[in-house]
Structure 1
Amino acid sequence: MGVLSAAVLAAVAVAVTAPAPPATAQAPQETTWTVDLTSDRNDTNVRTTADGLQLRSTTGRATRGASMGGDRARGLFVAAPHDLATPANRIAVEPSADVPAGSDVIVDVRGLRDDGSWTEWIPARPGSPAVLESAVRTVQARVTLLAGDGGASPVVHSLQLVADRAATIRLRLGPRTSTSRVFATREGLVGGTTANGHVVRERDHFVALPSSRGLSPRDTGDYTVKVCADNGRCEWAPVWDLGPWNTTDDYWNPSDIRQSWQDLAQGLPQAQAAYEEGYNAGRDQFGRVVTNPAGIDLADGTFWDGLRLRDNSWVTVSYLWTASGPVAAVRSYLLNVRTGPSSDHRAVGLAAQHAQLRVECVAAGQRVSGSEGTTNQWLRIGPGQFVSAAHVATPPGIRPC
């Protein structure tokens, strides 16, 4: 029998006595993976069968986004986030699907930024990968199913994704949020189902935008807008529906990355150009005559209670995911926004449940108890706009005001 040296014995001792990795630690996943297409209650009008992912129903009011109009049934599936072994910004898709005449399968992907917010959803098709604004370590896929002729549903048998890094990365985030002056209409449609599967309630609080690039998954505020009326009132509300008029008009983006109508100025909705200038022969993407210039729809609670509007109006909208910085999520149903760090200060708006707030700084003020505990910290989310941190999930390290 051979004799082990002292060095080898020491190495063996270290190997035996070294503590095991924590049970929760997981090895990074590979850059090529197959998406689990098992649907659940968080998905909208889809089901998973032995054949694959398909529409649950192609008839009835609940099969279309409440604000969208049109007759085409649609369904939405959001996959679980996937961690990458190395950062990537280019995601290729390889679906296997049956697509009947007139139907479609649309795959979008997004990435998780370092500040905890998500990039926009970017379309990807075979041979045309999605390129994100920067390299990320976590990606997520979304599948939209559109019914075809006679209500026929497409069926997705499998979906494989491949992540790598493009030679160049186009950064678009900056300290300033994209902001537009647009015409707002009241959505109404109580009892309808939004594009992300939310059933519209009386005096509800959310908005609709005419592009799925900024559509939040159900019960999240991943994409939140700050809407301000001329009366000084503002509401921070999640984007939960598609419309008005269009579904591919991310007019808040620069022309070089805008999905449709890249000849229009940034901040100008296609519907407004059609209504005011006869753009596209005065019609939307579906060929309908545009009868108002709306660039955003407001749920009834946002319209009446948040902004205290009496009629459809011009508003100023900030698309909060288009900038970088600390993000805090509202946990209470509705949160008053005040001019200073106490309830003695005047209320100047509302932050809706699930809304994500861009935090400028934190100030000491009135002590408040809420879902996040008891604290005297107040978050400044705009000039002269404060909310209590007692009702908001707040990241650490925010600078003092």
Structure 2
Amino acid sequence: MRLPHRPIRAAVVVATLTLVLSVALVPTAGPVPAVTTGLTVTSAPAAPAERWRADLTVVDGDDVNVRRSAAGLRLRDARPSAARSGRSPHSAFAEGALLSAPRTLSRPATRVRAEVSAQAAAGATVEVQVRGWRAMGWTEWRAAGAVFDRPVTRVQTRVLLTARDARSATVREVRLTADSTAAVTAATPGLTYRVFATRIGLVGEVTANGRKIQPRDHFVALPSRRGLAPLNTGDYTVRVCTTNGSRCEYAPVWDVGPWNTRDDYWNPSAVRENWKDLPQGRPEAQAAYQNGYNGGRDQFGRRVLNPGGIDLADGTFWDGLRLTTNAWVDVAYLWTGGGPRGVVGDGPLNIRAGASTSHAVRGLAARLANVPIQCYVTGQSITGPYRTTNRWNRLATGQYVSHAYISAVYGGTVPRC
């Protein structure tokens, strides 16, 4: 069961303001003592700054609960979600998100800063986040002003608004600047951790990226927006496996939860947003439940009732992993790795032990999941939605998927096995 997961943020009382979002407008939730970690620092070549304005006028299908008014960008419905739905309250706050179109930079950059002109009532907040594209895919979302681990060639912006008591913020303008500075390179790509999984359920409700949850749906939720994929993308995909390795599913991250909303526990302390004194890979909810960390409570002060570090939609839970109850699983956070990725254009797609349909099914790859491809082999010819081919892609787990169902490959050239 997924517990309430929408962000509850302390009030930010401002009048009309213009500010640089290198310093977040949203207050930190939880202890954040300074911790040093094993990161290396490399120098990026200096380059002139590139400046532009985010387009706040286009509100379309990948945006959530926002509208454009004559005064600026606002929440479409500023009532708290509990008041809107009358059931399964997520939080006492309303929230919305505008996702801009990606911008191709004239030259690579390692940092994007933002200046925001906005008017916010007491209890309303505005935050600007950015992500960058490099050869192996999108970086995680970061508060504007953060430094990417290597130069990026495209940038996408996300404007987040929250409100309490139906009093909203109005964003008039977001000005962005891309430049280069020292880049931080994480020491451990391709991270995998064992965490406790719970089932989402909540069919008919709406995820943090705007998807209406379907029966037997295939996606996951993580307790941080840093790995939240935009609607109808698998930009952030996890591989979730049973602890004995008998079943796995590749699934996109389309929601935020369980328990916390700012706990990117897979990141090292120097990058992790909150709970920096916990070991990398240990969710705050697990530490609270097992060891009484933070008084046994989550970032909102609620008593933690299970050690959940990932939520699984019903299809992922029942069909992908064939679980019957909440359980420990092994999760790979695939965007922290590198190499070629294939986009599953139609699914859920069977992943098999060999390069034909006669081999055993070892799990599923959800539609839009981005799967790591090691190499390819020749096997049974398959007719799929994209081509007829005898090519089968071997995934990082050693299982195979037919290339007939892969809509695109990025991040490098796939070699023959």
TM-score (norm 2): 0.84
Q: Percent sequence identity over matched residues?
A: 51
Partners of 2:90 and 2:318 lie apart in 1 by 23
**Cα pair distance change 1:314/1:363, threshold 3 Å:** same
Aligned to 1:388: 402
Which one has the largest radius of gyration?
Answer: 1
| Cα distance in 2 between the residues matched to 1:234 and 1:68 | 31
Question: SS of the residue aligned with 1:252?
Answer: coil
CA drift at 1:99:
1.4
For 1:74 and 1:171, the matched residues in 2 are separated by 32
Name the aligned partner's letter for residue 82 of structure 1. R
Residues 158 and 189 (structure 1), Cα distance of their counterparts in 2 relative to 1, 3 Å cut: same
Q: What pairs up with 1:280-359 in 2 under 5 angstroms?
A: 280-359=294-373
Distance in 2 between the 1:384 and 1:54 partners?
47
**Greater Cα offset, 219-228 or 99-108:** 99-108
Cα RMSD of the aligned pairs, angstroms, is 1.9
1:225 corresponding residue in structure 2: 238
Shift of the alpha carbon at 1:61? 5.7
* AA of the residue aligned to 1:218: L
Q: Which residue of 2 aligns with 1:206?
A: 219
Matched, 1:265 2:279: yes
- Per-residue Cα deviation, 1:119-145 (whole angstroms, up to 9, x for no partner): 000012xxxx12111111111110111
- Mapped partners of 2:283, 2:89: distance in 1: 15
Higher normalized contact order (CA 8 Å, seq sep 6+, divided by chain length): 2
SS in 2 for 1:384: coil
Work out the CA distance in 2 between the residues paired with 1:351 and 1:63. 34
Alignment equivalent of 2:134, drawn from 110, 113, 124:
113
1:26 alignment partner in structure 2: none
- Deviations 1:12-58, CA, capped at 9 Å, x for gaps: xxxxxxxxxxxxxxxxx981000101211210111111111111112
Q: In the alignment, which residue of structure 2 is the partner of 1:18?
A: none
1:179-230 CA distance string (max 9 Å, x none): 1100000000000000000000000000000000000000100000000013
* Partner secondary structure for residue 294 of structure 2: helix
- Code of the aligned partner of 2:386: E
Asked if structure 2 preserves the Cα contact closer than 8 Å seen for 1:30 and 1:85, the reply is no
Alpha-carbon offset, residue 170 of structure 1: 1.2
Map residues 176-215 of structure 1 onto 2, 5 A cutoff. 176-215=189-228
The whole-number CA distance in structure 2 between the counterparts of 1:233 and 1:63 is 38
Structure 1 residue ranges without an equivalent (≥5): 1-28
Deviation of the 1:291 alpha carbon: 0.6
Residue 238 of structure 1: aligned partner: 252
Is 1:143 equivalent to 2:164 in the alignment?
A: no
| 1:24 corresponds to | none
Change (3 A) 1:328 1:177: same
Q: How far apart, in 1, do the equivalents of 2:102 and 2:237 lie?
A: 20
Amino acid in structure 2 at the alignment position of 1:111: G
Measure the CA separation in 1 of the matches of 2:327 and 2:218. Answer: 17
Q: Secondary structure at the match of 1:151?
A: coil
Separation of aligned partners in 2, 1:220 and 1:383: 22
Check conservation: 2:82, 2:92, Cα contact below 8 A: no
* Equivalent in 30, 33, 51 of residue 71 of structure 2: 51
2:119 equivalent to 1:98: yes
* Runs of 4+ deviating beyond 4 Å: 60-64
CA contact (8 A) 1:67 1:242 kept: no
Give, in angstroms, the shift of residue 393 of structure 1.
2.3
Confirm whether residue 34 of structure 1 aligns to residue 70 of structure 2: no
Task: State the match for 2:173 in structure 1.
Answer: 158
Cα distance, 1:394 vs structure 2: 3.9
Which residue of 1 is the match for residue 17 of structure 2?
Answer: none
Does structure 2 retain, via aligned residues, the 8 Å contact 1:173–1:324? no
